Amino acid sequence: MEVVHLKSMVNTTLLELLPAKETPPTYLHQAMHYALMGPGKRLRPLLTLLAANVATDSHLLRMACVSELVHTASLILDDLPCMDNATMRRDRPCTHIRFSESTAILASTNLLNLAYGIIANCPNVDASTKVAVSAHLSHVIGSMGLVGGQVADLQNQPVGAKSEVEQLYHQKTGCLFEFSVVTGARLVGLDAEAIEALTRFARAFGLVFQLYDDMLDHSIFAQETGKDVQQDVAKTTLLSLYTPEELRGAFSDAQAMAREQLRRAGHEESLLAALVEQQFATFNGAAQRLGS
């Protein structure tokens, strides 16, 4: 099954999971639709589906959408005036600008609530798997994951080593990729060795992805990102710490690690590997443009 078709199935499932826009409180539900159903890559749900070898049962699609709900909720909060004070997201005004700050916060909270409800109520998934997925998501969202990453990003304290920035990148980005692929693996009963390999893959893939996001913050990409750029000018990033040669080396090393871990997980010639290679091509193209 082609990735474009999987993405369409994800979008259909997301729409089915949301309360109808006409259901009271309508303004809140409209904001949720606006934030969630805007143009997006749906990369995280795709990672779940492909880690599970594209088993497109309805329960797998629902569980795959959990990461997109969490991701969208985090973007809403990240854009708020008290956070990054952004104006554009996915090529249109941020949710707090289109609606209001209070509505945006409540929409984000409700998306997170919906995510946990989907896990709890998903049919054809055994209780132990639901508990494992819920516990993993709690860790990913919490102070050791997305929330902690956001705190560190806002504080922007000087760091003494690149490894500290890499850990921040894992909290901001890699941990939700990890949740996505590990959830797919759990749903189809992959063994502990495969799950560990996919966990290491997600960390490497998240590093490359965040390096790419750093590059997109550069002004030369202003017309292509669909969001505000130069948000990280005053922040410590790997892009600010690396020389061009080190940046190329970091890209190469992380991509090699991601490929090796996919091979260890049995995905060396899978649709998951193909999607990853497609992403790497985009990342590398951006790196070449930035260095030219």
- Residue ranges per structural domain of the chain: 3-291
pLDDT (0 to 100) of residue 290: 63
**Assign residue 230 a region: left if phi > 0, alpha if psi is -120 to 50, beta otherwise?**
left
Give me the residues paired with residue 92 across strands. Answer: 89
pLDDT (0 to 100) of residue 215: 78
Q: In the numeric block, which tokens belong to residue 84?
A: 């990054």
In this structure, which amino acid lies at residue 47? L
Render each residue's pLDDT in the chain as its tens digit; 292 residues. Answer: 688 999 999 999 999 999 999 999 999 999 999 999 998 999 999 999 999 986 678 899 999 999 999 999 999 999 999 999 999 998 899 999 999 999 999 999 999 999 999 999 998 899 999 999 999 999 999 999 999 999 988 887 656 577 888 888 899 999 999 999 999 999 999 999 999 999 999 999 999 998 888 877 665 555 555 666 555 555 677 777 777 778 778 888 999 999 999 999 999 889 999 999 999 988 877 767 665 5
pLDDT (0 to 100) of residue 23: 98
Query: Of 17, 20, 251, nearest to 121 (Cα)?
Result: 17
Would you tell me the crossing angle of helices 58-79 and 146-155 to the nearest 10 degrees? 20
pLDDT (0 to 100) of residue 91: 86
Q: Which residues of 156-186 are buried (b: 16+ CB within 10 A; e: fewer)?
A: eeeeeeeeebbbbbbbbbbbbbbbbbbbbbb
160 φ/ψ angles, rounded to the nearest 5 degrees = -95, -10
pLDDT (0 to 100) of residue 70: 98
What superfamily in CATH does domain 3-291 come from?
Farnesyl Diphosphate Synthase (1.10.600.10)
